[in-house]
């Protein structure tokens, strides 16, 4: 089997390629520029390449040349907070990019050529925040930030092409983390702060909303879910979540506990400047459709992977 991964230079591309290569797949990992890939990525088996998914001619020629069996579409901009500063860029990268890719795949389909199955990485930010929890595939969509809007539009676009006969799924991913998370995400920030405090290099960690609840998964479990969807060629949408939500404070407590610090409150300062104007109080998903369809369940245990993130956190940024 041959997988094309778009936007592969980030966290999710790393775990996806790892698991696909371990199963004997051929993998082409692409990003806007080859220099986006970290040295670890270069050292690994698998092919690296450039692909701007908003470039229709390039997407078409790449698909015609490679003829992958599956496309894992991860390319896009991914910061919820950051999307307010560049809303049009988010629509271009996430919505126009997905649309361009889908149109190119659909062109193969209408030409009678076997077309790749697409797994489109979507996000829990698509849901209406005031909808009853947990969120499932039937929860109303009502995004409240440009990132969420861009993802909803991409999801609908896939649905529209699917109605034409294209095979693909939206994987609606809840927050998923690993040692590859940058400090722009709260988990990456927390584990760096805890590691520095534990090493005696800092004495406080400044955060915003500690009460927000998120359904955090490890990124390797999310990669396994996307592969399970591709394996089954299950052309429908799936929520990918752990089913458990924890507060940002719970995450902080677990990170400190992993290095033997119980009095975590003593090291935390909250700064109102870090609060968001709109911030979902709780995101929690129900993956029972995915579990029933593919057998997927998360394998990693929360405290264990949070501890691993702290252990692997860089001390110098």
Of the pair 102, 173, the CB lying nearest ligand GDP is at 173
The footprint of ligand GDP on residues 264-293 (CB under 6 A) is: 274, 276, 279
Give residue number: closest CB to ligand GDP.
212
Q: Residue 273 forms beta bridges with which residues?
A: none
Binding flag, residue 186, ligand GDP (CB under 6 A):
yes
Of the pair 13, 148, the CB lying nearest ligand GDP is at 148
Of the pair 209, 288, the CB lying nearest ligand GDP is at 209
Of positions 107, 209, 236, 291, contacts ligand GDP by CB under 6 A: 209
The footprint of ligand GDP on residues 228-257 (CB under 6 A) is: 248
What is the distance between the alpha carbons of residues 216 and 302, in angstroms, rounded to a whole number?
8
Binding flag, residue 175, ligand GDP (CB under 6 A):
yes
Compute the C-alpha angle 283/288/291, nearest 5°. Answer: 120
Cβ atoms < 10 Å from Cβ of 247 = 16
- Of 47-55, 108-116, 158-166, 181-189, the segment contacting ligand GDP by CB under 6 A is 181-189
Binding flag, residue 211, ligand GDP (CB under 6 A):
no
Residue 268, H or E segment = strand 268-270
Of the pair 186, 224, the CB lying nearest ligand GDP is at 186
Cβ atoms < 10 Å from Cβ of 67 = 14
Nearest distance, CB of residue 108 and ligand GDP, angstroms = 33
Nearest distance, CB of residue 255 and ligand GDP, angstroms = 13
Query: With contacts defined by CB under 6 A, how many residues of the chain interact with ligand GDP?
Result: 16
Measured in degrees and rounded to the nearest 5, phi and psi for residue 31 equal -150, 175
Contact in structure between 139 and 286 (CB atoms under 8 Å):
no
Of the pair 13, 208, the CB lying nearest ligand GDP is at 208
- Which among 148, 295, 154 is positioned nearest to 234, based on CA atoms? 295
Compute the C-alpha angle 296/31/4, nearest 5°. Answer: 45
What is the distance between the alpha carbons of residues 259 and 38, in angstroms, rounded to a whole number?
28
User: Residues with catalytic annotation?
Assistant: 123, 125, 147
Interaction pattern, residues 70-109, with ligand GDP; x per rule: CB under 6 A? ----------xx----------------------------
3-state helix/strand/coil string of 56-99 = HHHHHHHHHHHCCCEEEECCCCCCCHHHHCCHHHHHHHHHHHHH
Of positions 2, 84, 156, 185, contacts ligand GDP by CB under 6 A: 185
Binding flag, residue 208, ligand GDP (CB under 6 A):
yes
Measured in degrees and rounded to the nearest 5, phi and psi for residue 44 equal -90, 160
Nearest distance, CB of residue 264 and ligand GDP, angstroms = 14
Of the pair 270, 301, the CB lying nearest ligand GDP is at 270
User: Beta strands 213-214 and 246-247: pairing type?
Assistant: antiparallel
Binding flag, residue 189, ligand GDP (CB under 6 A):
yes
Binding flag, residue 207, ligand GDP (CB under 6 A):
yes
Gyration radius of the chain's alpha carbons: 19
Interface residue list for ligand GDP (CB under 6 A)? 80-81, 175, 185-187, 189, 207-209, 212, 214, 248, 274, 276, 279
């Amino acid at each position: 089997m041959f997988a094309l991964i778009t936007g592969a230079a980030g966290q999710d591309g790393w775990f996806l390629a790892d698991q696909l290569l371990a199963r004997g797949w051929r993998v082409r990992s692409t990003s806007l520029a080859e220099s986006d890939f970290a040295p670890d990525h270069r050292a690994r088996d698998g092919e690296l390449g450039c692909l701007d998914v908003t470039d229709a001619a390039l997407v078409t020629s790449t698909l015609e040349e490679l003829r992958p069996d599956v496309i894992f579409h991860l390319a896009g901009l991914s910061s919820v907070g950051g999307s307010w500063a560049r809303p049009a860029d988010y629509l271009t990268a996430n919505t126009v990019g997905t649309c361009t890719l889908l149109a190119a795949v659909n062109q193969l389909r209408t030409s009678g050529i076997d077309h790749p199955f697409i797994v489109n990485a979507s996000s829990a930010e698509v849901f209406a925040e005031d909808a009853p929890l947990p969120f499932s595939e039937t929860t109303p969509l009502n995004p409240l930030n440009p990132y969420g809007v861009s993802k909803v539009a991409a999801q609908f676009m896939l649905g529209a092409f699917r109605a034409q006969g294209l095979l693909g799924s939206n994987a609606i991913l809840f927050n998923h983390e690993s040692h590859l998370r940058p400090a722009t995400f709260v988990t990456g920030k927390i584990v760096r702060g805890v590691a520095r405090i534990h090493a005696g290099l800092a004495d406080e960690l400044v955060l915003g909303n500690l009460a927000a609840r998120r359904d955090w998964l490890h990124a390797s479990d999310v990669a396994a879910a996307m592969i399970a969807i591709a394996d089954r060629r299950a052309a429908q949408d799936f929520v990918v979540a752990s089913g458990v939500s924890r507060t940002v404070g719970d995450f902080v407590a677990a990170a400190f506990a992993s290095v033997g610090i119980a009095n975590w409150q003593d090291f935390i300062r909250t700064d109102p400047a870090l609060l968001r104007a709109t911030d979902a109080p709780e995101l929690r998903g129900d993956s029972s459709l995915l579990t029933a369809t593919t057998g997927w369940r998360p394998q990693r245990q929360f405290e264990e992977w949070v501890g691993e993130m702290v252990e692997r956190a860089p001390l110098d940024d």
